[in-house]
Amino acid sequence: MDGLADKIAAFVVDSDFDKPPADVVAAAKAAFLDCVGVALAGSDEDSARICAALARQESSAGEATVIGQGFRTSPMLAALCNGTSAHALDFDHSYLMGQPTAGLIPAVLTMGETLGASGRAALAAYVTGFEVVSRLARSMPRLSTAAHWHATSSIGTVGAAACCARLAGLDAAPTRNALGIAASMASGMVWNFATMTKPLHSGLAAQNGVMAARLAGQGFTSSPATLEEGKGLFDCFARGLDCDVTAFESLGRTFDLTGIGISVKPYPCGGLTHSAVDAVLELRQEGLRPDQVDSMRVGVTSQVFDRIMNALPANGIESKFSMPYILARALADGALVLDTFTDEAAADPAIRGIAASIVMELDDGLVETADGARPADVTVRLKDGGELRRRVDHSRGRPERPLTAAELRDKFDTCASRALDPEQVGQVADLIDALEGVENIRELCELLGGSK
């Protein structure tokens, strides 16, 4: 497709969001609520605090709020901190290509606060960036599997630039330049999973999006062919893999945000484990207890087998990506909560004893499908010689099995209360619920700073 960058730029600039479909607005506000909640909770993680400490040391102009840290800094540093916080707990919602919103909404909040944007403009910017990222993900569906890029940053950076260009009101030519600048900033490898660098990827996506739009707004240029199928982003990031840009033909006419939908996580750990978690929790609800279990085998797809640890974790971060630990906790506790994944919890000898009897295996008969199914097949061998088995294809929180409105709000309240007092939690939720009517999102951003 010739002129792909021009097509995307035209969508960013010209899309009419004066009267967006009600379901798109509702989905965008749900995304804001989930992202903001987990960012507030994530602001107390080491990765977020280290980024905040660096921002403090820079002594930059205090134009933008750092979520949960109680201070303001430059827009680009705030975006870095806030994007990292949004992904620090791995509790943020996911999509076909990973977890794009963790970079998009922090970029929107940071850029929007700096510009004094309205809530409606912020929603429109987020939807714009999401639709761009979604089309890129659909065009290169094997980007983060066979190619081993972490799409949250590699193409999330381009989406964040689209968000910020929209907020800044850039014309088509500078918007195209912003997209091209962002394409040269894109990076992020999956081999940094289970470390602080994984959430840094979304922080970099947010920061890069802000920087790309601000540079382009000052006249900075890039190649007009940076996003073309046969020259730029596609060849660099998906070389040798099949690409199909026909997904862009519906850009501006349909919304993937509602047509495909996001998956809101019920558990604060790697989403690749969630089908197996659901299988174990279902067996537990039917009466299975740890003292009955002799061993457990978890059959998984190749992507899960490649990305999730099959060993006991050394710390809290690793515990979010350790299949034996996660399933041992699910079996023993009947729930996975924020405190499940601390350094202290990961060292619990009783849980590690259970985890030692759990093994993850590649099952060639399990295949991820185009509709997002990620099957896991759990077999439990009992001490009395019996056997239990449960397969789950679609985990809870996916569009096929969505969380209820009450569950979404409960998740937000639990997360936000880690950084805000109860009154502030309610105020933030109310502002997001009425976001399309908020005249200036600085009111929301000031609340998100917390009181640290």
Distances 159 to 31, 38, 212 between C-alpha atoms, Å? 15, 20, 11
| Number of neighbours of residue 288 by Cβ within 10 angstroms | 18
51 compared with 143, residue with greater pLDDT: 51
* Domain assignment present for 400: no
* Domain assignment present for 262: yes
CATH number, domain of 30, equals 1.10.4100.10
What's the rounded Cα separation, in Å, for the pair 353 and 452? 38
Q: How high is the pLDDT of residue 452?
A: 53
Q: How high is the pLDDT of residue 299?
A: 98
409, 377: one domain: no
What's the rounded Cα separation, in Å, for the pair 50 and 62? 18
> Phi and psi dihedrals of 380, rounded to 5?
-110, 120
Contact 118, 439 (CB under 8 A): yes
pLDDT > 90? residue 343: yes
250, 312: one domain: no
Domain end (from 364, 392, 420): 392
85, 94, 87, 96: which is closest to 44 by C-alpha? Answer: 85
Q: What is the mean pLDDT of residues 321-331?
A: 98
pLDDT > 60? residue 316: yes
318, 442: one domain: no
* Domain assignment present for 397: no
- Give the dihedral of Cα atoms 84, 85, 87, 89; nearest 10 deg: 130
Q: Exposure string (b/e) for 323-348, b if CB count within 10 Å is 16 or more?
A: bbbbbbbbbbeeebebebbeeebbeb
Percentage of the chain beyond pLDDT 90 is: 81
What's the rounded Cα separation, in Å, for the pair 266 and 396? 7
241, 92: one domain: yes
Q: How high is the pLDDT of residue 199?
A: 94
pLDDT > 80? residue 430: yes
Q: What is the mean pLDDT of residues 273-299?
A: 97
Location of structure tokens 């849980």:
351
249, 285: one domain: no
205, 63: one domain: yes
The pLDDT-based confidence of 148 (bands split at 50, 70, 90) is confident
* Domain assignment present for 439: yes
349, 250: one domain: no
Tens of pLDDT, residues 101-127:
999 999 999 999 999 999 999 999 999
Token readout for 405 is: 């409105």
> Phi and psi dihedrals of 70, rounded to 5?
75, 25
* Domain assignment present for 429: yes
Q: How high is the pLDDT of residue 241?
A: 83
Token readout for 178 is: 């912003």
Q: What is the mean pLDDT of residues 324-330?
A: 98
Domain end (from 392, 413, 430): 392
* Domain assignment present for 398: no
Least confident of 228-232, 238-242, 380-384: 228-232
* Domain assignment present for 16: yes
73, 134: one domain: yes
Q: How high is the pLDDT of residue 2?
A: 54
Least confident of 68-82, 235-249, 323-337: 235-249
Tens of pLDDT, residues 249-285:
999 999 999 999 999 999 999 999 999 999 999 999 9
Q: How high is the pLDDT of residue 373?
A: 82
Q: How high is the pLDDT of residue 229?
A: 62
260, 276: one domain: no
Q: What is the mean pLDDT of residues 327-335?
A: 98
pLDDT > 70? residue 403: yes
Mean pLDDT computed over every residue of the chain = 93
166, 213: one domain: yes
pTM for the complete prediction?
0.93
226, 102, 212: which is closest to 161 by C-alpha? Answer: 212
What's the rounded Cα separation, in Å, for the pair 188 and 283? 37
Domain count, the chain: 2
- Give the dihedral of Cα atoms 376, 377, 378, 381; nearest 10 deg: -160
Max CA distance (Å), the chain: 73
369, 412: one domain: no
259, 279: one domain: no
Return the SS3 of 451. coil
pLDDT > 50? residue 417: yes
Q: How high is the pLDDT of residue 420?
A: 96
The pLDDT-based confidence of 235 (bands split at 50, 70, 90) is confident
CATH number, domain of 277, equals 3.30.1330.120
- Domain range for 295 is 271-392
The pLDDT-based confidence of 1 (bands split at 50, 70, 90) is very low
pLDDT > 90? residue 228: no
pLDDT > 90? residue 134: yes
What's the rounded Cα separation, in Å, for the pair 14 and 164? 14
* Domain assignment present for 399: no
147, 96, 69: which is closest to 260 by C-alpha? Answer: 96
Tens of pLDDT, residues 169-214:
999 999 999 999 999 999 999 888 889 999 999 999 999 999 999 9
